[in-house]
Structure 1
Amino acid sequence: MLNQTDLTRVDLNLLVLFEIVLEERHVGQAAGRLNLSPSAISHGLGRLRRLLNDPLFLRTPKGVVPTDRALDLAEPVADILARARSVIATAEPFDPATSTRRFTIGAPDGVSAVFLSPLLAELRRLGPSINISVRQILPPRAVRTTDGVWEPVLADIEARAVDIAVVPADEVPARFTARTLYEEDFVIAMRAGHPFGKDPTLDAFCRMQHLVVSLTGDAYGFVDDILGEHGYSRRVALTVPNFMFALAIIAETDLIAALPKTFVAMYAPRFGVVGAEAPLPLIHSRIRAITSKAALMDNGVAWLFNLLGKAVKPADVFG
């Protein structure tokens, strides 16, 4: 939006003014929010118009309306201010008891559904005004091993698109820190009374219609890798984008799915879904909280990372 020469003469407050006027669509109301006079707002808008070479806001009897150029600038200006606020927040002393920061945690919903309840309980006690955004993440293709699968998530951590990721990753590069929260296996989830529950053999498993959780709609999963090694295959009749939706569908159909054992134990009963051991060995993984060592220099991220490790205890997960 601005070149290097422009930045030497830009007052960041002008972008704040732009944001508030865009929200209020009224100079007087924007002035009230910023504790400035309407003339000061008008003067600031004049500087912005010269800087950006556009009227930005047009006067009407009821206030102002943004030009197309102003609407185009809304998102990049909001992004600039969000990043600036984040930088300033990391420089301030972090007190969880009074902080109103928002942190973003990336995880598959089959994982976030496990750790969120104990984490939120701790936040109510220690950081009652802290806000959490959970971002659903799944690998682009389900595979048997976790090697390299979560590399895009590591990139998101470094870009600060997420503060912490909680995923089944065995190894991470040295520039990251990882902490195991719990260990996970997979079971075969099905509705109560499903025929497979009475005949849980490998042949019967392959005859069933399967559901795969896939963010992209890719129907090939890690189970297919394992089946192929034994000379078997299956029919994937449906893919859905998250684990909770999978439980709802399984409850109402004859579809079966390989789902995380801990997740199934915690949530399947309310759907009338049961879990059974798989007729062949599936993957075992460590669910780990991951962040970058650079991010841990932010006292807020470091506090949340440690809190995650303390909040998710075996008794909470398996009890």
Structure 2
Amino acid sequence: MLNQIDLSRTDLNLLVLFEAVMRERHVGRAAGALNLTASAVSHGLRRLRLLLGDPLFLKTPRGVVPTQRAEELAPGIAEALARVRSVVASREPFDPARSTRRFRIGAPDAVSSVLLPPLLAELARQAPGVDIGLRQLLPKAGETTMALGWRDSLLALEAREMDVAILPFHEVPARFISLDLFSEDFVVAARVGHPYLRRPDLEHYCRQQHLVVSQGGDPRGFVDDLLERQGLARRVALTAPNFMSALAVLADTDLISALPRRFVDMHGARYGVASVAAPFAFPTYAVSLIVPRVAMMDAGVSWLASMLSTLVPKGAEGDGERL
């Protein structure tokens, strides 16, 4: 057990090394992130294996994979390092007005594109030196539940590949904090003048050629499940890797697509894309801010989460659960 070890004889930098290998799943990439040689990381891993009595990481052709013991240790090590970093950072409290920090936010582009205008306006007011990096997130194709679909995003968040995530999903494990930001639903979008917009009934809908947003190219979406329950089907003629590219395609074709309402309201007009209500009930879902609990010990991340929770995207006033 780690708490039985004489810490005066233990190099705590080994925990930083563990964190890097856990995040990168590759000894060479972890070495680069730590400004060390691959041999130094391998030597550190040997010491850590002896210390913890487990292989921790197993070699594969593409890098390394953690053992079950490493998976069990990872949350505790992450929490311990977060506390240490918080203590070190407390020497100079986070001041958004003076900070030049870069925060990383993960979200589907349909979410980030509606939050970006109010976010940039708020940064200009509160934190003009703070920079933002956006990481596009989409659910893993083929999964049968939201929890499995967004699992990779949660793992990336926990590995500190991003500071916060904003997802259409809120049922997260207890080690995360989830705050509902606003509710969202889907509309049917098509180019202005498309025949479907004049007769948006179910029969006409099923006869159209459809576009589905799918990062991996999987043509089946939630709409297909809804249609199947009614004994109906549609033709998915094209998949697009993100929502912005979907708008560009809709503008120049006769394809139609189910897209988030606020996203189309904000960006559809510039592409010549309009929308109508769906001919059957599309699900409404909560868009949530998700942060690892240990990350909230970082005053900067805590400030970012608090600031994001106050943003209201276009059309959201009075909608959904507010904080």
Normalising by the residue count of structure 1, what TM-score does the alignment of the two structures yield?
Answer: 0.72
Match of 1:119 in 2: 119
Instruction: State the secondary structure of the residue aligned to 2:105.
Output: strand
Cα distance between partner residues in 2 of 1:168 and 1:257: 18
Alpha carbons 1:182, 1:314 under 8 Å: kept: no
1:125 Cα offset (Å): 1.4
Cα distance between partner residues in 2 of 1:217 and 1:105: 24
1:116 Cα offset (Å): 1.1
Which residue of 88, 92, 100 corresponds with 1:91? 88
Asked whether 1:79 is paired with 2:33, we answer yes
Cα distance between partner residues in 2 of 1:119 and 1:264: 19
Match of 1:151 in 2: 151
Instruction: State the secondary structure of the residue aligned to 1:226.
Output: helix
Cα distance between partner residues in 1 of 2:123 and 2:114: 15
Normalising by the residue count of structure 2, what TM-score does the alignment of the two structures yield?
Answer: 0.71
1:145 Cα offset (Å): 5.9
Match of 1:168 in 2: 168
Instruction: State the secondary structure of the residue aligned to 2:190.
Output: strand
1:316 Cα offset (Å): 6.6
Deviations 1:93-142 (A, max 9, x none): 21111211111111000000011111111111111111111000100127
Aligned residues: 251
Cα distance between partner residues in 2 of 1:186 and 1:131: 31
Unaligned runs of 5+ in 1: 1-6, 11-72
Q: 1:283 to 1:275 in 2, by over 3 A?
A: same
Instruction: State the secondary structure of the residue aligned to 1:294.
Output: helix
Q: 1:241 to 1:302 in 2, by over 3 A?
A: same
1:204 Cα offset (Å): 0.8
Alpha carbons 1:90, 1:298 under 8 Å: kept: no
1:177 Cα offset (Å): 0.8
Match of 2:258 in 1: 258
Alpha carbons 2:262, 2:315 under 8 Å: kept: no
Alpha carbons 1:181, 1:313 under 8 Å: kept: no
Alpha carbons 2:105, 2:162 under 8 Å: kept: yes
Alpha carbons 1:188, 1:278 under 8 Å: kept: yes
Asked whether 1:235 is paired with 2:189, we answer no
Cα distance between partner residues in 1 of 2:145 and 2:117: 28
Match of 1:131 in 2: 131
1:150 Cα offset (Å): 1.4
Q: 1:314 to 1:261 in 2, by over 3 A?
A: closer
Alpha carbons 2:170, 2:180 under 8 Å: kept: no
The amino acid across from 1:163 in the alignment is D
Unaligned runs of 5+ in 2: 1-9, 14-26, 37-77
Alpha carbons 1:176, 1:290 under 8 Å: kept: yes
Cα distance between partner residues in 1 of 2:316 and 2:118: 7
Alpha carbons 1:142, 1:221 under 8 Å: kept: no
Match of 2:70 in 1: none
Q: 1:247 to 1:289 in 2, by over 3 A?
A: same
Between the aligned residues of both structures, percent identity stands at 47
Q: 1:108 to 1:318 in 2, by over 3 A?
A: farther
Alpha carbons 1:142, 1:222 under 8 Å: kept: no
**Greater Rg, structure 1 or structure 2?**
1
Instruction: State the secondary structure of the residue aligned to 2:149.
Output: coil
Asked whether 1:208 is paired with 2:208, we answer yes
Cα distance between partner residues in 2 of 1:144 and 1:289: 22
Cα distance between partner residues in 1 of 2:294 and 2:112: 24
Cα distance between partner residues in 1 of 2:182 and 2:219: 27
Task: Provide the aligned C-alpha RMSD in A.
Answer: 3.0
1:148 Cα offset (Å): 3.4
Deviations 1:175-197 (A, max 9, x none): 11111111100000001111111
Cα distance between partner residues in 2 of 1:250 and 1:317: 28
Match of 2:270 in 1: 270
Deviates more, 1:203-212 or 1:309-318: 309-318
Instruction: State the secondary structure of the residue aligned to 1:220.
Output: coil
1:274 Cα offset (Å): 0.5
Deviations 1:8-51 (A, max 9, x none): 7x9xxxxxxxxxxxxxxxxxxxxxxxxxxxxxxxxxxxxxxxxx
Instruction: State the secondary structure of the residue aligned to 2:310.
Output: helix
Alpha carbons 2:266, 2:314 under 8 Å: kept: no
1:206 Cα offset (Å): 0.7
Q: 1:76 to 1:153 in 2, by over 3 A?
A: closer
Deviations 1:203-254 (A, max 9, x none): 1111100000011111111111111111111111111111011111101100
Q: 1:75 to 1:170 in 2, by over 3 A?
A: closer
Match of 1:29 in 2: none
Cα distance between partner residues in 1 of 2:316 and 2:110: 15
Q: 1:245 to 1:315 in 2, by over 3 A?
A: closer
